[in-house]
Structure 1
Amino acid sequence: MSPMKWSERTLIGVPYLWLLVFFLLPFLIVLKISVSEMEMVSFKSLVTWVDGVLSVQLKFGNYLFITQDDLYFKAYLASLKYAALTTAWCLLIGYPFAYFMARAPKAAQPALLMMVMLPFWTSFLLRVYAWKGLLGEGGWVAGVLDALGVDQLLMALGVIPGPGQYLNTPFSLVLGMVYTYLPFMILPLYSNLSKMDMRLLEAAADLGATPWRAFWTVTVPLSKAGIVAGSMLVFIPCVGEYVIPELLGGPQTLMIGRVLWDEFFSNNDWPMASSVAVLMILLILVPLALFNKAQADAQEARR
């Protein structure tokens, strides 16, 4: 094997440099703050040298407090629950849409792709805030739901407190997050499905498979990479979401993003807020790392 050229090393090193500067270093700064003790508007030094004695002072009390306070546990659990619900609904809605786009005539696919990306032309904050008017009293979406009797079903499921009360509920929260993050599910799925070899479906039909069975045994397994990519793109930002729970959620939909905001700006307790942020990052990265390892092991076993 020939030695790697300087240009190749540079090309490979750019992503690692990007991760170092924009992820690892900020994470280390937050980690440092989480084990520091705050003095007014500054932080005590972690390492001190006094009279020839080197002292390292790390404060882990914030992490212990998080494990003992139910508020943080419930906020983490709620964040995971609503992120998982949002991911499931995005997959349920996005997969048929992406499948239709991939099977549409080539001339129509750019227009369909533009329809998916069109919401990005409007401010994220404005799009979320518009749902307050649509779901509030006199909103046409609320009127349609009332006319269809959907509020009775939602009341039976326990996601709204009463007839026509859609705002500041788990329903409005999940609806807003599904609306916002649906394109992040559709685009990876479309990219994956549009590259699928259609001859495989023809071969399955020749072997006697029904269209439904061919879909589950051929199309879905081959689109697994798109499903995983779309799910990660939706789930990860949903866990730390703040704007949508603040505008569309209620007191019963407290998520970890709101807890972070309160610790940083209401309580002005940066070490505690940093501890919450570090645990939130680990909560996302550890399962993701385990999943990637399982995927790599499975791929290695197939070789």
Structure 2
Amino acid sequence: MKKYAAYPYIIWSIIFIIVPLVLVVVFSLTKYQDGLVFTLDNFKRLMKPMYGDVFIHSILLALIATIASLILGYPMAMILANIELKKRSTMVLLFVLPMWMNFLLRTYAWMSILGRNGFINVALKALGLPTFNLLYNDGAVILGMVYNFLPFMVLPIYTVLSKMDKKLIEAAKDLGANKIIVFIKIILPLSIPGVMSGITMVFMPAVSTFVIPRLLGGGQYMLIGNLVEDQFTLMNDWHFGSAVSIIMMILILISMAAMSKYDKEESGGHLW
């Protein structure tokens, strides 16, 4: 009975995961030249310096957004994990609530905040201070990434911290360890699985997003997601767009494999 219950999932996976992936691979390895011919030209085209700059810029912004999310998210996860149980569910709900809003609307909201006539500049002008161009730059794009993907960092860390055995912390304090030692020797090592999950869950969408750089970056520069989008929607070059998608998937898989390996190594270590 269990075997038959899995058939719908298998069929769904074949139709909506395996078949599209195979089509992307086929498109990336072919092009129309008096018919459909096998070629590696789509991947060779990616060797041009202009595309290398796109990949480097995308990875750099994604790394910065991931690090910023970790710095902001870890303390938030600790706060949520240490709140008394009755209030914890409400606080988690309030933290997740913005995610229920459409991703595009959340990004548009930041345009009204950071724009030339946005809330920040209006407030600065009212105080007699100079205004700034806060939109259409790397800072605005990173801010949009951190805002949209921060819950993906907080929730895995919070889940690990909330399940942590508090007796270990109490034992360390009884042995004379201060708060800093307790954090370094107990809390941080035990939270590594959540940290690794959070880093992966933030980095993957950050490196492939196209809406945030399109809106908050003003389309003045191109990231990997924008490159793929343009090839499919504007240039109508599905073959090159598929090649870029394959490279992007490989980068994401490499990052996931590295994080998974590091997570296993940390899990096999000792606290002290």
Q: TM-score, normalised by structure 2?
A: 0.88
User: CA deviation digits over 1:154-213, x for unaligned, max 9?
Assistant: xxxxxxxxx601100111111111111111111111111100111111111122211111
Please, which moves more after superposition, 286-295 or 101-110? 286-295
- Pair 1:177-2:145 in alignment: yes
In structure 2, the residue matched to 1:292 is 260
In structure 2, the residue matched to 1:274 is 242
In structure 1, the residue matched to 2:116 is 137
Equivalent residue of 1:209, what SS?
coil
- Pair 1:195-2:156 in alignment: no
Unaligned runs of 5+ in 2: none
Unaligned runs of 5+ in 1: 1-5, 46-56, 152-162
In structure 1, the residue matched to 2:38 is 58
User: CA deviation digits over 1:44-93, x for unaligned, max 9?
Assistant: 45xxxxxxxxxxx42101111111x1121111111111111111111111
**Aligned-partner residue type, residue 195 of structure 1:** K
In structure 2, the residue matched to 1:81 is 60
Which one of 61, 67, 87 corresponds to residue 108 of structure 1? 87
Superposed CA RMSD in Å reads 2.8
CA distance in 1, matches of 2:164, 2:234: 51
Q: Is the 8 A contact 2:69 2:150 kept in 1?
A: yes
Equivalent residue of 1:223, what SS?
helix
Per-residue deviation, 1:137 = 1.9
**Aligned-partner residue type, residue 131 of structure 1:** W
Which one of 195, 202, 205 corresponds to residue 237 of structure 1? 205
- Identity over the aligned pairs, expressed in percent? 34
Change (3 A) 1:296 1:110: closer
In structure 1, the residue matched to 2:101 is 122
CA distance in 1, matches of 2:194, 2:126: 37
- Pair 1:70-2:49 in alignment: yes
Equivalent residue of 1:37, what SS?
strand
Q: Is the 8 A contact 2:55 2:224 kept in 1?
A: yes
Greater C-alpha radius of gyration? 1
Per-residue deviation, 1:299 = 5.6
CA distance in 1, matches of 2:26, 2:124: 49
Q: TM-score, normalised by structure 1?
A: 0.80
